[in-house]
Chains A and B, each alone.
Chain A
Amino acid sequence: MTSLDQLFVNANAWLLSLLPDWARLWASILVRIGVIAALAPIIMMYLTWLERKLIARMQNRFGPTRVGRYGLLQPLADGLKMLIKEDIVPRGADRLLHLAAPILAVVPAILLFAVFPFGRNMIPADLNVGLLYVFAISSISSYAIFMGGWASRSKFSIIGAMRSVAQIISYEVPGVLSVVAVIMVAGTLSLVGIVEAQGPRWFVFTPWGVVGCLMFFLSGVAEVNRTPFDMPEAESELVGGFHTEYSGMKFALWYMAEFLESFAICALTVTFFLGGWQGPPVPFWLLAVLLAVLVGTARLVAVPVRILGVVAMAGAGLLCGAEPIPSWIWFFAKTYALVFVLVWFRGTLPRLRVDQLMGLAWKFFLPLGLINILAAGLWVWWPFPTGTAASAFLLLASSWLLVRANNPAPLAPRSYVFAD
């Protein structure tokens, strides 16, 4: 393996080799926990920054610009603000549950990071039941949301929480069903195994993969309560939904959970369908040149910093130019591309109605998920042209039929007796 690709793996191994034998196991565990504990808040903070910047651009605005260059210190300012805000608990609220709920929301979101294959050999814990672990852990968040809504003793919170539970439970079903096809084809529940099974062809380039990818991603978007499925915190109807009565650091924890879960959904879609850490063999110097141009043309950054950045990039490009782009960069690039799609959805789509949301899950995704398993079976059973064509035809025909079946005949135009 190349040096850049295994940079962090080798660094970890070197660090552990300095320690005596008996400490190595514990140190290895501590390093993994430490990296995740440091990475998760940073990812969350800069997701908020990224989201605000991107959504602003879609609305012809700049987004944060005042704190630091390009508003890069805005997340820190926000964090500081959240820390010094007053923590208000409504009268009559269950204080213990009110405190426990946001913590219970953040913990599973961080736990999910334990099984992400960030790069080749770069996985904190390669569980052989990784996929089950992911679904088991991520469904804890519905408990947290309902707990928070219930403990707040507020009508907005409880309505938001009830909607949220209904939504999360509904969308877990198509979410899991869409991954069943992946398990069938990959023949393993380990996330590393799934990524490696996509070596010859990413799953998204198969008929059942396209449908599965869309279904898994959209179910994920619904599960983490993001637009257009953000009923649980519908601002215009429910003030803030389940987090109406939260302020200060508890509110920040809710946000942290939400952003980490969004990141997790993107990362899991990448792992299951978009080839994980694998990418086409593009030489590293192309990326280095791109980054050098990006840093060099950053107008607001001081000139010495820009020169330093360009020199560093050029150095990295010269040193490792012949190597392919490292696997962890592929993983993060794909994940952030999906994060962009999430923000793009938020900038474009209005919120669905509750009945539309449930209808999408139960009347469209659920049958399509079952058919998708059959389609994946056909794809595996028959050799290339027949299987692909058969599964593509099956999916197209059934989705067309489902749409037709779900659209009732249009009502006859109303005539208003007194209006004419």
Chain B
Amino acid sequence: MAWIGYGVLKGLGVTLKTFLETYPWGRAVLRGLSIPVADGLFTIQYPDTKQQHAERFRYFPFLVYDETPDNLRCVACKICEQECPPQCIHIVGPAKDEQGRPLKAHGRTFPVEFDIDMSICMSCRICVDVCPFDAIEMDNQYELSASDRYEHMVFNQEKLLKPAEYFQQIKPTEAATVDQRLAAKKAKAAPAAPPPQAPKPPEGS
């Protein structure tokens, strides 16, 4: 210790510097004294100004569709439902006709119901990782508070569906990878495309 009260004065100096750093005139004073200055206020006034979150920021999944909402990528395979750790995904499907044969739209089966309970989801992204069809992706909307537990916090298929363009817009890098993968898959499937009728179930037989 240098002299009596030195530590106290040093501590007071630290808080005074922090205090001055939060004002423009205070920063000018500090610069005038040739003291290194940092920008003072870190608080973001949340509802008025929002933080620019990173591209990889994720909060809640959504279902991707191409062109039209009925052309969704999901085939109701239920892998995500089984893998979901808090079990917040509920899928009914794939859709079937009266005889119990799977119905198809755009060459794919599709779910009858697809619900995700927002209040249970823990934003882990496992559903996205396990989906073989890149049909489910993470959204970055986080202002999802609601006053009603079952009406508004359980997201049904209608609320979950978002276009592929939206995905490309919020997460360009990830969307580019996904699109590349889907294009490669399509190209692989294309040579086998000429006899496409073969795997289709014989109709009316």
Interface string of A309-350 (1 = CB under 8 A from B): 000000000000000000000000000000000001101110
Q: How far is the CB of A67 from chain B (nearest CB, A)?
A: 14
B82 close to A (CB within 8 Å): no
Q: Which of A368-409 contact B (CB under 8 A)?
A: 399-400, 403
B14-22, B27-35, B129-137, B180-188: which one contacts chain A? B14-22
Give complex CA distance A400, B4 in Å: 8
Residues on A with C-beta less than 8 A from B41 are 60-62
B15 touches A58 (CB 8 A): yes
A59 close to B (CB within 8 Å): yes
B43 close to A (CB within 8 Å): yes
Q: How far is the CB of A208 from chain B (nearest CB, A)?
A: 17
A344 touches B16 (CB 8 A): yes
A57 close to B (CB within 8 Å): yes
Q: Which of A50-78 contact B (CB under 8 A)?
A: 54, 57-62, 65
Knowing A58-B18, A62-B43 touch, does A344 contact B12 (C-beta < 8 A)?
Answer: yes
B12 touches A348 (CB 8 A): yes
Q: How far is the CB of A279 from chain B (nearest CB, A)?
A: 22
Interface secondary structure of A, over-half rule: helix
Residues on A with C-beta less than 8 A from B42 are 60
B45 close to A (CB within 8 Å): yes
Residues on A with C-beta less than 8 A from B23 are 57
B190 close to A (CB within 8 Å): no
Give complex CA distance A372, B22 in Å: 40
Give complex CA distance A280, B19 in Å: 27
Give complex CA distance A349, B8 in Å: 8
Residues on A with C-beta less than 8 A from B21 are 60
Interface string of B36-56 (1 = CB under 8 A from A): 000011110100000000000
Residues on A with C-beta less than 8 A from B194 are none
Residues on B with C-beta less than 8 A from A399 are 4
B100 close to A (CB within 8 Å): no
Interface band, chain A: 10 to 19
Knowing A60-B22, A61-B43 touch, does A348 contact B4 (C-beta < 8 A)?
Answer: no
A-B pairs with CB below 8 Å: how many? Answer: 41
Residues on B with C-beta less than 8 A from A347 are 15, 19
Residues on B with C-beta less than 8 A from A60 are 18, 21-22, 40-43
A57 touches B22 (CB 8 A): yes
B11 touches A348 (CB 8 A): yes
B18 touches A349 (CB 8 A): no
Residues on A with C-beta less than 8 A from B16 are 58, 344
Interface string of A216-237 (1 = CB under 8 A from B): 0000000000000000000000
Residues on A with C-beta less than 8 A from B40 are 57, 60
Give complex CA distance A59, B21 in Å: 11
A65 touches B45 (CB 8 A): yes
Q: How far is the CB of A22 from chain B (nearest CB, A)?
A: 55
A59 touches B18 (CB 8 A): yes
Give complex CA distance A400, B1 in Å: 13
Knowing A65-B45, A348-B12, A348-B14 touch, does A58 contact B19 (C-beta < 8 A)?
Answer: yes
Q: How far is the CB of A359 from chain B (nearest CB, A)?
A: 14
Interface string of A119-138 (1 = CB under 8 A from B): 00000000000000000000
Residues on A with C-beta less than 8 A from B19 are 54, 57-58, 344, 347
Q: How far is the CB of A245 from chain B (nearest CB, A)?
A: 33
Residues on B with C-beta less than 8 A from A57 are 18-19, 22-23, 40
Residues on B with C-beta less than 8 A from A54 are 19
Residue in chain A with minimal CB distance to B26: A57
Give complex CA distance A399, B23 in Å: 38
Residue in chain A with minimal CB distance to B24: A297
Residues on A with C-beta less than 8 A from B4 are 399-400, 403
Residues on B with C-beta less than 8 A from A344 are 12, 15-16, 19
Interface string of A32-55 (1 = CB under 8 A from B): 000000000000000000000010
Residue in chain A with minimal CB distance to B40: A60
Give complex CA distance A21, B176 in Å: 93
Residues on A with C-beta less than 8 A from B14 are 348
Residues on B with C-beta less than 8 A from A59 are 18
Residues on A with C-beta less than 8 A from B8 are 348-349
In the A-B complex, the 8 residue pairs with the smallest Cβ-Cβ separation, listed nearest first, are A348-B15, A347-B15, A57-B22, A58-B15, A58-B19, A348-B11, A57-B19, A348-B12
Can you spell out 26 A-B residue pairs with CB atoms less than 8 angstroms apart?
Answer: A54-B19, A57-B18, A57-B19, A57-B40, A58-B18, A58-B19, A59-B18, A60-B18, A60-B21, A60-B22, A60-B40, A60-B41, A60-B43, A61-B41, A61-B43, A62-B43, A65-B45, A344-B12, A344-B15, A344-B19, A348-B15, A349-B8, A349-B11, A399-B4, A400-B4, A403-B4
Known: A60-B21, A62-B45, A344-B12; 19 extra A-B contacts, CB below 8 A, are: A54-B19, A57-B19, A57-B23, A58-B18, A60-B41, A60-B42, A60-B43, A61-B41, A62-B41, A62-B43, A65-B45, A344-B19, A345-B12, A347-B15, A347-B19, A348-B12, A348-B15, A349-B8, A399-B4
